[in-house]
């Protein structure tokens, strides 16, 4: 009988790895290997773990050792580099290794369900090679000189390089990714080596065109997709295809940065500035940052693409750490950047949210048979209900937030804790029956548009209108088909769509973000407005047609953010933002970590944080006062935070492990968590 000890990393809250005993009934069976997955008992559960060591003996007493249930020997082990990537993320973000390595592995692999795995393997083995002849049929535009220079810079050199592909909206960044991928794959093949390319996108269901483009361009290759909306069987099959090296291209959302890809040769991060690359719970990692780390580890190129790069990346490009590749023109013939104009809302009163110049501009589009897009980053009918008689407002009783009026469903809904109730017939405090909605969301503007333009086909796209699976896709298809005259939506409509008949973009109420407490709000607003503006004027139209237009309603037309937008001047905006950050001592000029605590009583959370603050000497690290979070109470739980700042990343990283250990040793009963490089402070 063969036996050995396996050390498993498990996805459990404890920061430990566990030893188990493995015994083979069949003496000829091969020993399990580091990098394989194994099912093991944990308490009363069975959990999947990653084998991180195979050894003869354990420090654990023999009678305390438990037996492995099964090793997933059908699968080749993940590479040592993959484990090293997970270890890095585990150390950097201060979370257990198993919490990094296991959640990115499909669920079906993590349970005792071998049939799912076997079915996936069989299906993959049976799948023939995709059709090579079809490749020739696909239309591929000739690259313009800037695109070609970018492709050559990315693909014709080996070794680790971070490229910042800074290309205005519609400049053809996708072509650059696809050509670079093709070149890298062909180069490796000509040397008899396999190659895989990882393409990360912010949200796959908002960028279906990219997936379609990739598949059309590479019909001869296996393109795997990895994102949270795949059905489990498909997810497993695609994960395994990446892991086996079968999938030459893996297209996925942030979790795909941890895909096992043995032949990885190129990484692309599209829209690198997008906030959805940041995981906001559990392991709060930045997929963009991990992509760069992974490229350096493996010595390969990584491309960060954006029309509005994050100012962190811009700073690195300025200092020479990243290499900047610029695409300054729109790629399609005759396509031009839209003209941006501001509508001064101090002069143009708009009781229903739409100013006369914006209404006139929409009307002109309707008359010409063109499409308009109106952007309002607030869903629901009205953000709050109000009683004029006594001043009552629709506060959520469980959160420091308003209940939002959703008129079609006739409900008030809290967007933080999901509490819902019927719209009250009368004021709960004074009985007044005339309750008023205050402010406006997409539903209210939709209603107004329908009265203004009864003949127009108005379509609203937001999280409420696209709850059903596939409905977002159907809505976007309708816009592309030309079945929509006026598209109205939240930031969901800002992403990479190439709407050919769209010639007007209106931003209804962007000012709210100007005065946010969050120091990143301005950067986010600028990126959003550039993105949404970038939906206009992509086709070019008739030579004599008036240029596409972007109209922004604002009460602060002199604000530097809008001035930069008028001039399509991302660079000026980024320089000014970086100067402000430097002066204020904010990232990327300092490194931060944030400790959060939650309790029924705010005082308890603040006390815990105060205790945490005084636990260890922390020379060179500023630990600020504990403060309540902006939205202090959510679902009845009070939340507070403690911000750490340090000019040196290394020093902060050295402080965190002993501090975390000391925090755990407090054995506090309240919930707390640490976030490294926090984004929402």
Residues that bind ligand ADP (CB under 6 A): 141-144, 147, 167, 169-175, 331-332, 496, 498
Q: Is 31 an interacting residue with respect to Zn ion (CB under 5 A)?
A: no
The option from Zn ion, ligand ADP, none interacting with 95 (CB < 5 to 8 A, set by class) reads: none
Residues 392-431 contacting Zn ion, CB under 5 A: 392, 396, 398-399, 414, 416-417, 419, 427, 429-430
The option from Zn ion, ligand ADP, none interacting with 392 (CB < 5 to 8 A, set by class) reads: Zn ion
Of the pair 347, 421, the CB lying nearest Zn ion is at 421
Structure tokens at 431: 């009985």
The option from ligand ADP, Zn ion, none interacting with 167 (CB < 5 to 8 A, set by class) reads: ligand ADP
CA dist 653 and 646 (Å) reads: 10
Q: Quick one: which of 435, 458, 450, 449 has its CA closest to 382?
A: 435
- How many alpha carbons lie under 13 Å from residue 193 in its C-beta half-sphere? 11
Q: Is 633 an interacting residue with respect to Zn ion (CB under 5 A)?
A: no
Q: Is 432 an interacting residue with respect to Zn ion (CB under 5 A)?
A: yes
257: which DSSP letter? Answer: G
Q: Least Å distance between CB 187 and ligand ADP?
A: 21
The option from Zn ion, ligand ADP, none interacting with 175 (CB < 5 to 8 A, set by class) reads: ligand ADP
Q: Quick one: which of 244, 237, 276 has its CA closest to 257?
A: 276
Q: Least Å distance between CB 336 and ligand ADP?
A: 12
**Do residues 576 and 631 make contact, with C-beta atoms less than 8 angstroms apart?**
no
Q: Least Å distance between CB 152 and ligand ADP?
A: 14
Of the pair 263, 270, the CB lying nearest ligand ADP is at 270
The option from ligand ADP, Zn ion, none interacting with 414 (CB < 5 to 8 A, set by class) reads: Zn ion
The option from Zn ion, ligand ADP, none interacting with 373 (CB < 5 to 8 A, set by class) reads: none
CA dist 511 and 164 (Å) reads: 29
Of the pair 148, 438, the CB lying nearest ligand ADP is at 148
CA dist 660 and 673 (Å) reads: 10
With H, G, I as helix, E, B as strand and everything else as coil, classify residue 137: helix
Q: Is 342 an interacting residue with respect to Zn ion (CB under 5 A)?
A: no
Residue facing ligand ADP at closest CB distance: 172
Of the pair 31, 389, the CB lying nearest Zn ion is at 389
Identify any residues that bridge with 83 across adjacent strands, giving them in sequence order.
none
The option from Zn ion, ligand ADP, none interacting with 432 (CB < 5 to 8 A, set by class) reads: Zn ion
Structure tokens at 368: 């010409």
Q: Is 246 an interacting residue with respect to Zn ion (CB under 5 A)?
A: no
Q: Is 387 an interacting residue with respect to Zn ion (CB under 5 A)?
A: yes
> 552: exposed, middle or buried (C-beta count within 10 Å: 0-12, 13-18, 19+)?
buried
Of the pair 145, 351, the CB lying nearest ligand ADP is at 145
Is the bond leading into 180 cis (omega within 30 degrees of zero)? no
CA dist 97 and 100 (Å) reads: 5
Q: Least Å distance between CB 209 and ligand ADP?
A: 8
Structure tokens at 337: 């950047």
Of the pair 141, 585, the CB lying nearest ligand ADP is at 141
DSSP 437-494: EES--HHHHHHHHHHH-TTS-EEEESTTTT-STTHHHHHHHHHHHT--SEEEESGGGT
Q: Torsion-angle region of residue 480: left (phi > 0), alpha (psi -120 to 50) or beta?
A: alpha
Q: Is the dihedral of CA 138, 324, 309, 296 positive or negative?
A: positive
Q: Is 376 an interacting residue with respect to Zn ion (CB under 5 A)?
A: no
Q: Least Å distance between CB 598 and Zn ion?
A: 15
Binding site for Zn ion (CB under 5 A): 387, 389-390, 392, 396, 398-399, 414, 416-417, 419, 427, 429-430, 432
């Amino acid at each position: 009988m063969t036996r050995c000890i396996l050390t498993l990393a498990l996805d459990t809250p404890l920061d430990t790895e566990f030893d188990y005993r493995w015994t083979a009934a069949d003496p000829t069976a091969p020993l399990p290997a580091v990098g394989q997955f194994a099912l093991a008992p944990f308490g009363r559960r069975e959990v999947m773990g990653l084998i991180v060591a195979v050894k003869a003996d354990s420090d654990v007493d023999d009678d305390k050792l438990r037996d492995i249930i099964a090793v997933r020997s059908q699968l080749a082990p993940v590479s040592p580099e993959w484990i090293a990537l997970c270890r890095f993320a585990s150390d950097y973000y201060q979370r257990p290794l198993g919490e990094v390595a296991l959640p990115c592995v499909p669920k079906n692999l993590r349970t005792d369900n071998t049939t799912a795995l076997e079915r996936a393997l069989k299906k993959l083995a049976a799948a023939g090679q995709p059709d090579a002849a079809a490749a020739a049929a696909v239309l591929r535009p000739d690259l313009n000189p800037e695109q070609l220079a970018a492709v050559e810079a990315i693909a014709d050199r080996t070794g680790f390089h971070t490229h910042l592909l800074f290309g205005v909206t519609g400049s053809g960044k996708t072509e650059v990714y696809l050509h670079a991928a093709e070149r890298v794959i062909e180069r490796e093949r000509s040397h008899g080596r396999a190659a895989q390319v990882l393409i990360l996108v912010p949200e796959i269901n908002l960028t279906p065109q990219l997936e379609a483009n990739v598949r059309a361009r590479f019909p001869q290759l296996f393109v795997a997709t990895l994102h949270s909306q795949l059905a489990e069987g498909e997810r497993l099959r695609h994960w395994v295809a990446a892991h086996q090296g079968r999938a030459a291209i893996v297209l996925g959302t942030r979790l795909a940065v941890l895909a096992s890809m043995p032949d990885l040769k190129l990484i692309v991060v599209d829209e690198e500035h997008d906030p959805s690359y940041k995981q906001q719970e559990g392991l709060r990692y930045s997929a963009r940052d991990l992509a760069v780390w992974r490229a350096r580890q493996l010595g390969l190129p990584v491309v960060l693409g954006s029309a509005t790069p994050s100012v962190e990346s811009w700073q690195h490009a300025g200092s020479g750490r990243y290499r900047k590749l610029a695409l300054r023109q729109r790629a399609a013939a005759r396509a031009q950047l839209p003209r941006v104009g501001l509508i001064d809302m101090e002069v143009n009163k708009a009781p229903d949210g739409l100013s006369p110049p914006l209404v006139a501009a929409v009307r002109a589009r309707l008359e010409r048979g063109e499409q308009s897009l109106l952007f309002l980053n607030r869903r629901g009918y009205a953000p709050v209900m109000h009683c004029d008689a006594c001043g009552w407002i629709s506060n959520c009783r469980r959160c420091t937030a308003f209940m939002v009026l959703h008129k079609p469903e006739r409900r008030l809904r809290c967007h933080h804790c999901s509490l819902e109730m019927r719209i009250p017939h009368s004021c709960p405090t004074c009985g007044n029956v005339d309750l008023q909605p205050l402010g406006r969301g997409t539903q209210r503007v939709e209603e107004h548009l329908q009265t203004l333009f009864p003949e127009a086909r108005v379509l609203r796209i937001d999280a409420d209108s696209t709850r059903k699976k596939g409905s977002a896709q159907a809505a976007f298809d309708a816009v592309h088909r030309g079945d929509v005259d006026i598209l109205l939506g939240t930031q969901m409509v800002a992403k990479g769509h190439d709407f050919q008949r769209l010639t007007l973009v209106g931003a209804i109420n962007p000012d709210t973000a100007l005065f946010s407490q969050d120091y990143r709000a301005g950067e986010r607003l600028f990126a959003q407005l550039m993105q949404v503006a970038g939906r206009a004027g992509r086709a070019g139209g008739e030579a004599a047609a008036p240029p596409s237009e972007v109209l922004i309603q604002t009460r602060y037309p002199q604000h530097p953010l809008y001035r930069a937008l008028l001039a399509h001047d991302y660079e000026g905006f980024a320089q000014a933002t970086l100067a402000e950050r430097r002066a204020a001592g904010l990232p990327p000029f300092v490194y931060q970590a944030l400790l959060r605590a939650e309790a029924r009583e705010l005082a308890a959370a603040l006390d815990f944080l105060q205790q945490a603050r005084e636990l260890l000497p922390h020379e060179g690290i500023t630990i600020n006062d504990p403060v309540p979070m902006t939205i202090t109470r959510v679902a009845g739980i009070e939340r507070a935070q403690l911000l750490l700042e340090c000019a040196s990343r290394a020093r902060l990283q050295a402080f965190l492990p002993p501090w975390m250990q000391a925090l755990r040793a407090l054995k506090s009963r309240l919930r707390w968590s640490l976030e490294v490089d926090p984004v929402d402070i």
